[in-house]
């Protein structure tokens, strides 16, 4: 049953107009946006979510916006069990996480699979900004890459990533490092076939250091927020960094992988670089 239908007897017609009927489910936690007009009814809305979705045990509302270097969001529990930790399954991988303390988007699941399917057997893959290990572990699960290295600055996310690697015992080709990529990456001797940069908004500040560790003919996956019709501006960010680093962008495609607000898209520039 849909949330609006479930609440038909509990909310007025006007309140139903304000209700956002969709929500994300991370493990057994539902995360919903409650508009200010419905704050007094948030408990009823949370109970309704738990009633209609049997796998959900906690209902939480976004209590702010995604912000800060670690891209986290405050959550307030509005119904169900009093906890914020859960286990989320994606592409056969189990992830422990607390969605308030770390960034994790269930909506990027197809994108993680898309990139994993691009990785060729034997590749060395680098995931800058690896969070709880979602990209590294999904790539390890779905590809035959040789080794996948992740770097993450949020200590809590990194600790979850280590826990997730340990929990998925069949995966043994993932290396996870804690720290700022600006400090950690220059210490590497390895050159990578593929570098993934899932940090839209500020990721462009890191393209140059990514290029230094990308093999000739390697692929860069650069994420950006972009307006419709301006995707070439994101490609230009990569091309300009290539010029600074004496490299050449030889092939690129911009893939839409999210739509966070009405006119803004989350895109990935897949760029082959010589």
Ligand X SMILES: C[S@@+](CC[C@H](N)C(=O)[O-])C[C@H]1O[C@@H](n2cnc3c(N)ncnc32)[C@H](O)[C@@H]1O
How far apart CA 162 and CA 178 sit, in angstroms, is 10
From 169, 168, 14, 186, select the one nearest 177 (Cα to Cα).
Answer: 186
* CB within 8 Å of 122: residues ≥ 6 apart: 144, 145, 146
108 versus 254: smaller Cβ distance to ligand X: 108
8 Å CB contact between 50 and 25: no
Residue 249 and residue 238: Cα distance in Å, rounded?
8
**Helix locations, the chain, DSSP H:** 3-6, 13-18, 42-52, 109-118, 134-142, 155-167, 181-184, 207-212, 231-244
- Return the number of the residue (180 or 248) whose C-beta is nearest ligand X: 180
- Give 45 or 199: the residue with its C-beta nearer to ligand X: 199
| In the complex, minimum distance from the CB of residue 74 to ligand X, in angstroms, rounded to a whole number | 15
In sequence order, the β-bridge partners of residue 60 are 31, 77
Minimum CB separation from ligand X for residue 10, in Å? 35
Q: Which is nearer to ligand X, 136 or 218 (CB)?
A: 136
Residue pair 78/42 in contact (Cβ under 8 Å)? The answer is yes
Shortest Å distance, C-beta 55 to ligand X:
21
Tell me the residue number closest to ligand X, measured at CB.
131
Q: How far is the CB of 45 from ligand X (least distance, A)?
A: 27
Note every long-range contact of 61-67, with CB atoms under 8 Å and residues 24 or more positions apart, other chains counting. 61/31, 61/32, 61/33, 61/34, 62/31, 62/32, 62/33, 62/34, 66/103
Spatial neighbors of 256 by CB under 8 A, at least 6 apart, are: 265, 266, 267
Tokens 């996310």 belong to which residue?
A: 157
Cβ closest to ligand X, residue 80 vs residue 200: 200
Residue 56 beta carbon to ligand X: minimum distance, rounded to whole angstroms:
21
As measured in angstroms, the least distance from the Cβ of 165 to ligand X is 14
CB nearer ligand X, residue 41 or residue 112: 112
Q: From the CB of 95, what's the least distance to ligand X, in Å?
A: 9
Residue numbers of the site for ligand X (CB under 6 A)?
A: 69-71, 103-104, 108, 129-131, 134-135, 151-154, 157, 180-182, 198-199
Q: Which two tokens stand for residue 165?
A: 């690697």
| Closer by beta carbon to ligand X, 48 or else 161 | 161
């Amino acid at each position: 049953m849909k949330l609006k239908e479930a609440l038909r007897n509990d909310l007025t017609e006007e309140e139903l107009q304000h209700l956002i009927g969709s929500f994300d489910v991370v493990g057994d936690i539902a995360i919903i946006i409650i508009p200010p007009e419905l704050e007094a009814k948030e408990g009823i809305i949370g109970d309704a979510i738990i009633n209609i979705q049997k796998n959900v045990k906690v209902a939480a509302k976004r209590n702010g916006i995604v912000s800060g270097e670690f891209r986290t969001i405050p959550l307030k529990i509005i119904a169900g069990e009093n906890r914020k930790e859960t286990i989320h399954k994606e592409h056969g991988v189990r992830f422990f996480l607390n969605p308030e303390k770390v960034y994790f988007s269930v909506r990027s699941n197809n994108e993680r699979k898309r990139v994993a399917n691009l990785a060729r057997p034997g590749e060395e893959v680098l995931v800058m900004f690896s969070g709880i290990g979602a990209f590294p572990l999904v790539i390890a699960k779905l590809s035959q890459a040789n080794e996948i290295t992740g770097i993450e600055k949020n200590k809590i996310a990194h600790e979850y990533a280590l826990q997730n690697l340990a929990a998925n015992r069949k995966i043994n080709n993932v290396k996870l490092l804690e720290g700022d990529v600006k400090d950690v990456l220059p210490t590497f001797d390895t050159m990578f076939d593929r570098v993934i940069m899932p940090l839209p908004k500020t990721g462009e500040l890191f393209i140059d250091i990514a290029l230094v560790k990308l093999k000739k003919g390697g692929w860069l996956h650069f994420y950006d927020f972009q307006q419709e019709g301006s995707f070439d501006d994101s490609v230009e960010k990569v091309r300009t960094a290539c010029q600074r680093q004496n490299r050449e962008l030889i092939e690129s495609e911009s893939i839409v992988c999210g739509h966070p607000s009405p006119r803004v898209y989350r895109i990935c520039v897949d760029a082959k670089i010589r």
